[in-house]
Structure 1
Amino acid sequence: MIKTNKEKVVKWSAQGKIHHPTGGNYRISHNGEPMILPATGGISYNVAIGDCAFGWEGDHVEPGVSIRNENSSENAALMTFACIGNEAKIISGDAKGKKGYVTGMHGGIDHVLIHFEKDILEDLAIDDKILIKAYGQGLKLVENENIRIMNIDPDLFEKLNIKEEEGKLKVNVVGKVPAYLMGSGIGSKSAATDGDYDIMTADMQEIKRLGLDKLKFGDLVLLQDCDNTYGIGYLKGSVSIGVIVHSDCIKSGHGPGVTVIMTTKESIIEGVIDENANISNYIK
């Protein structure tokens, strides 16, 4: 097993409430078509982790439940310290006491996304409060300081079946994304605080050629020549691993969102294609 400093990582509280969807105005597609579509926020009753991220009549659709705080400082902490795989517990409303888990962070709108089973969704309401056991920021590899870990629960990280061979870490991923396809979010100051960035999908022929059109919410992907160590940008030879967190989008420069969980400036992470490399399978 890959050695980490898991026993030294602080587990503490972060909390938000289910955020009402916002907007309702026209969104302009990359083809110049004005469209009115469901987008971010609220409770998505029929869009869940493990579903395909493509084909929805929506824009930036968030699977499951979207939470945030209206206090910007508190929401920044929620976005930063909630990690994929963290336990989420409902602490108000008809579903009080029921549990789910964090599936990603969505920058821009600044939502933390949470999966609950369908029967629990039926008992939820806008403004219900959800407590997260925030656990993961500060996780490090004991024997490889050139790889940075972020945004993932240490218990989930241990389940990813990562192997070390000949000085490289081999990580199971569903697909590999070239840097030229990465769009909205490039230039952000930190992949640990800013949520995600998008795979651009205006060129669907290229997406299909690369086999990325079947990506699902929760899938692990490898980002080629993408450095997320101290910001989000391009660096030849760098490698990042991320999780698909929101749906495809109609707007230019956008597409399925990726929350980064591992990054290195060197070519010391390799992706091993595995169609089952989805966080829902590891958590189960």
Structure 2
Amino acid sequence: MLKTNQTKVVIQSVQGSIQHPLSGYPYRISHEGIPYVLPATGGITYNVKLGDPAFGWAGDHIEPGVTMRNSNDKENAALHLLSCIGNEARVISGDAKGAKGFVTGGHGGVEHVLVYFKQADMEMMSVGDKILIKACGQGLELSDHSEVKVMNIDPDLLLKIGITEQGSKIRVPVAATAPAHLMGSGIGAPSAYKGDYDIMTGDKEEVKKYGLDQLKFGDLVLLQDCDNSFGRGFLKGAVSIGVVVHSDCVKMGHGPGITTIMTCKKAGVIDGVNDENANIAKYLNI
């Protein structure tokens, strides 16, 4: 069993409210130059859920389940940074007060935190309802693998994934592998400890070649030659593991969003094990 510093990881409250969708200029221009008017980020998305396909929706950057934010920018920065995938979320106002769910990822740029709740609970929710998260995960370390940086994941969830050790290696179940040349929007960000970056899907043949067109919300994905240690960039041999958090997009340089949960600069330390069921919905019994 993986040894971690879980007993030393701090659990702290962070809070926000269900975010209303935003709109400015109505058109989203595709990589083929076609203008679309589509639903996008924010709100309570009733019919797009964890475990559903990340492709095929009549939408752009769709965030499954419930989208939350804090109206104070500094507080929202903390909400986004400290909320980790798998953290417990609890509704603390409105008709759904008391309902519990969990964090499914963070979406950079719009700085949203995404949360899973049961369908019946979402039907009771309203925009503006407050949600409290028991934030836990930043500062998590693998005791016997100091070269691996862990981020954005609840310690309990990390241990449920089924990671195994083989000497100095760790073997992580993944639903797919994405090459570095397909990673787009978010490259060059100063930190991977919040938000996401996108698998570009403009080249449909290349996406199909790697089986990425079959991705689902919540899937674990291995990113080849991707170093997320101190930002996001290319490094030959580096490996990162992430979770699919939002849908495909029509815009150039965009696609399904990946929130990083671990990364290593050194080649041969993180090894992906193909498992089409490697999805946080499975590990959290959804």
> By the TM > 0.5 criterion, same fold?
yes
Alignment of 1:76-95 (within 5 A): 76-95=77-96
Instruction: Identify the residue that residue 49 of structure 2 maps to in structure 1.
Output: 48
1:101 equivalent in alignment to 2:102: yes
Instruction: Identify the residue that residue 216 of structure 2 maps to in structure 1.
Output: 216
Q: Deviations over 1:51-79 (max 9, x none)?
A: 00000000000000000011110000000
Q: Secondary structure at the match of 2:7?
A: helix
Instruction: Identify the residue that residue 13 of structure 1 maps to in structure 2.
Output: 13
CA distance in 1, matches of 2:168, 2:141: 17
CA distance in 2, matches of 1:203, 1:70: 37
**What count of residue pairs does the alignment treat as equivalent?**
283
Q: Deviation at 1:166?
A: 2.9
Instruction: Identify the residue that residue 266 of structure 1 maps to in structure 2.
Output: 266
Q: Secondary structure at the match of 1:130?
A: strand
Detail structure 1 runs of 4+ shifted over 2 Å in the superposition: none
**Contact residue 145 and residue 168 of structure 2 kept, 8 A:** no
Alignment of 1:106-121 (within 5 A): 106-121=107-122
1:23 equivalent in alignment to 2:23: yes
1:180 equivalent in alignment to 2:177: no
CA distance in 2, matches of 1:189, 1:64: 28
1:152 equivalent in alignment to 2:149: no
Q: Deviation at 1:167?
A: 1.5
Q: Secondary structure at the match of 1:213?
A: helix
Q: Which amino acid aligns with 2:128?
A: D
CA distance in 2, matches of 1:210, 1:257: 16
Q: Deviation at 1:144?
A: 1.3
Question: Cα RMSD between the aligned structures?
Answer: 0.6
> Which sections of structure 1, spanning at least 5 residues, go unmatched?
none
**Contact residue 43 and residue 66 of structure 2 kept, 8 A:** yes
CA distance in 1, matches of 2:14, 2:204: 38
Q: Which amino acid aligns with 1:60?
A: H
Alignment of 1:273-284 (within 5 A): 273-284=274-285
Q: Deviation at 1:44?
A: 0.2
> Which sections of structure 2, spanning at least 5 residues, go unmatched?
none
Q: Which amino acid aligns with 1:82?
A: S
CA distance in 1, matches of 2:126, 2:32: 36
Q: Which amino acid aligns with 2:203?
A: D
